Amino acid sequence: QVQLVESGGGLVQAGGSLRLSCAASGRAFSTYAAAWFRQAPGKEREFVAANDWSGTSTYYASYVADSVKGRFTISRDNAKNTVYLQMSSLKPEDTAVYYCAATPFRSTRSRNPSAFDYWGQGTQVTVSS
pLDDT in tens, 11-26: 999 999 999 999 999 8
**Beta strands in 8-95, from DSSP E residues, in sequence order:** 10-13, 18-24, 33-39, 46-51, 58-60, 72-77, 82-87
Measured distance CA(53)–CA(88) in Å, rounded: 24
Q: Between the CA atoms of 40, 41, 43 and 46, what dihedral angle is there, to the nearest 10 degrees? A: 20
Regions of the chain where pLDDT drops below 50 = none
pLDDT of residue 67: 60
pLDDT of residue 27: 81
Instruction: Specify the 3-state DSSP secondary structure of 57.
Output: coil
The mean of the pLDDT values for the chain is 92
